[in-house]
Chain A
Amino acid sequence: MSLLLPESGLLFWMVLSFGTVVFILTKYGFPVIVKMVEDRKNYIDESLLIAKKAYEQMEKLKADGEAIVDQARREQVKILNDATKIRDLLINDAKEKAQLEGYKLIEEAKKQILIEKEDAIRDIRRQVAELSVDIAEKVLRGRLEKKEEQMDMINRLLDEINISKS
């Protein structure tokens, strides 16, 4: 029966020591531990969330970057095409211009040549005329060395003039 009756001494010490234990542990022990563990749990959860967001953002950035690269590539192709077209155009233009210029030059050269030719012909004619006059002079002189011949000549010429007068 003594087992079922609480002993006053033990009751006293139990109240004292358990009271102390409860006081210390409920004030400085368990709340600290539980709070820290929960804080850490929240911290980990938050960190995971942030990491997930960062990952998503990175993926998005990656996709964006790829899109930009794609666009740049397309742009490049376009620019290259344009450049080719412009180059062809420029070359054609230049060709045409050069041809035109060439024609013009040729035309002018032809004109010049014509003028030169005419000049040359005129010169030749003049020289031929002078030469023929000189030759005629010499021939006449040869023929008119003698007096009668001279007289003949003069007569003939006079005749001729007369004939033409009459």
Chain B
Amino acid sequence: MRRLKKILLVLVLLITVCGLNAYANEPAANKEPKEEEFNVREFILEHISDSYVWHLTKIGDHEISIPLPVIVYSQLSGWHVFMATEIMEGETKDGLFIATEGKYKGKIVEADSLGNETRPFDISITKNVFALLFSSLLLILIIMGVARSYKKKPMESKKGFVGFMEMFIMNINDDVIKPCVGKDYKKYAPYLLTVFFFVFINNTLGLVPIFPGGANLTGNIAITFVLALLTFLIVNISGSKEYWREILWPDVPLWLKAPVPLMPVIEIVGIFSKSFALMIRLFANMLAGHSIVLGLTALIFVTVKMGPVMNTSMTVVSFVFSIFIGFVEILVAYIQAYIFTMLSAVFIGLARVEPHHKKEIEETKHS
């Protein structure tokens, strides 16, 4: 009961902070409409995409942001390592600058001999990379801490945070991975658990609007791409003979597979579409969640022109809806991690099918 209260308290705090943040953004963005038309599309895109500095807020005309290192390999001039603040204000350093428009808008580019903008190999510690490193470290610390607690006192029932994590881990292990993968689930359980907690911690940190959180990491296609690719590799590497036979020579009437390999083609597309769906599902859900919260916040700035009454009432509406969406997003953070893990487990389970058609043939013979 006490633990439940604690969790509730944390949730309420999270939501409150979320809402406060919506207001905190207000003065920063409120200045803009005076100078130019407030662009909702720009506002949202700026927040959900990557950037070279971690923008915190704007006090007066002074931008407050955390500088992050830029690491770039240019084919023309080799390696460059410097702080991103050096090129933030439209400056050029060693021929590198941030493109203001075109294909590479907002990215570091350099001009080649013909004057075209080209993209150097860019492994800068951007906002997303920093959030990724932070959450990876946090995840390792949490799980290794829990594991150490087990090594220290193996046969003891755990309380507090370790007890909560035990419940969480065993719930995913026993109720998701075990039934979905079937036998031999132990081989895949550590990877699937890692995926679950990686996605969950990044989803959750994405909802925290203050510094180490708030990056739209799982709503970035590069992240979901790597996750889906790993699942794709594991599913197809652990695929049994029966799995490949069902793809290449499925149990369908001969004309569906003999002259024109209709079913095999569909099945092969299916191999890729499964993982592709995994990638898009997580990406789109998290992106949409962030966009909705930002859109609701933008409502305040959009209605500024409509007079104080409209603006105030819409501010209240925006605040209430932000709280509601905040709750929904916490749910989504868990559900998306859960679904990603469950579907990965199901795909692995499906790829490890045992031959069953022989039995069926025997049964039909008997009947």
Partner-B contacts on A (CB < 8 A) = 2-15, 17-18, 20-22, 24-34, 36-37, 39-40, 43
Q: Which stretch in B78-86, B126-134, B239-247 binds the other chain?
A: B126-134
For residue A7, which residues in chain B have a CB less than 8 angstroms away from its CB? 50, 122, 220, 222
Is the CB–CB distance between A10 and B143 below 8 Å?
A: no
Is the CB–CB distance between A9 and B226 below 8 Å?
A: no
Is the CB–CB distance between B221 and A28 below 8 Å?
A: no
* A100 CB to nearest B CB, Å: 85
Q: How many residues belonging to B are interface residues under a CB distance threshold of 8 Å?
A: 49
Is the CB–CB distance between B136 and A3 below 8 Å?
A: no
**Contact of A31 (CB < 8 Å), options: B190, B220, B227:** B190
A43 CA to B49 CA, complexed, in Å: 50
* A11 CB to nearest B CB, Å: 5
Q: How many A-B residue pairs have CB under 8 A?
A: 127
For residue A40, which residues in chain B have a CB less than 8 angstroms away from its CB? 154-157
**Contact of A13 (CB < 8 Å), options: B132, B189, B190, B194:** B132
9 smallest beta-carbon distances between A and B, as pairs: A6-B222, A26-B190, A36-B150, A10-B222, A29-B143, A30-B190, A17-B136, A32-B147, A13-B129
A28 CA to B165 CA, complexed, in Å: 16
A29 CA to B129 CA, complexed, in Å: 23
A144 CA to B105 CA, complexed, in Å: 204
B169 at the interface (CB under 8 A from A): yes
Which residue of chain B is the closest to A12 with respect to CB atoms? B123
Known contacts A24-B140, A29-B194; 15 additional CB pairs below 8 A are A5-B221, A17-B132, A17-B136, A20-B140, A21-B194, A21-B198, A25-B139, A25-B143, A25-B144, A29-B140, A30-B169, A30-B193, A34-B193, A36-B151, A40-B154
**Contact of A10 (CB < 8 Å), options: B126, B155, B227, B230:** B126
B225 at the interface (CB under 8 A from A): yes
A28 CA to B148 CA, complexed, in Å: 9
